[in-house]
Amino acid sequence: MNFDQTDTRKSREYLAGSTGQIASDALLDGLNPQQVQAVQHHEGPLLILAGAGSGKTRVITHRVAWLVSQLDVHPSSILAITFTNKAAAEMKSRINELIGSVSQTMWIGTFHAMMMRILRRYADRIG
């Protein structure tokens, strides 16, 4: 699937609302200081480890939206991995709500699904 600049513009317009500015505050609303720090982290990869019900999925989804809308990260360069199909579906749904259809070019899924995707894509190189 090719990345479409129009989709990025649409997601920016959605996040911007009527002001024409990206509503970065909307991506940070309701987050505690540690969560805001995680969402805004921009130096290399980030691993989120926390207990059940602590807001991990919220942080990850808002971070992905932040990377695309604020730091112009190409959606297809984002990898978000979780353990269960339910959690992966929830992550996909929340990211899609935040930034729209550009989320379809991201690598979001379970460890097993992502490895299967890699194997299918590069099976001819395995031998």
Q: Between 3.40.50.300, 3.30.2290.10, 3.40.50.150, 3.30.200.20, what CATH number should domain 5-126 receive?
A: 3.40.50.300
In SS3 terms, the chain reads as: CCCCHHHHHHHHHHHHHHHCCCCHHHHHCCCCHHHHHHHHCCCCCCCCCCCCCCCHHHHHHHHHHHHHHHCCCCHHHCEEEECCHHHHHHHHHHHHHHHHHHHHHCEEEEHHHHHHHHHHHHHHHHC
**pLDDT tens digit sequence for 11-27:** 445 454 433 334 788 88
Residue 107: pLDDT band with limits 50, 70, 90:
very high
pLDDT at 33: 95
pLDDT at 26: 85
The domain locations on the chain are 5-126
Residue 8: pLDDT band with limits 50, 70, 90:
very low
pTM over 0.85? The answer is no
Collect all residues with Cβ–Cβ distance below 8 Å to 26 and sequence separation of at least 6.
15
Contact (CB, 8 A) for 84 and 49:
no
Collect all residues with Cβ–Cβ distance below 8 Å to 109 and sequence separation of at least 6.
80, 81, 82, 88, 117
**pLDDT tens digit sequence for 50-84:** 998 999 999 999 999 999 999 999 999 999 998 99
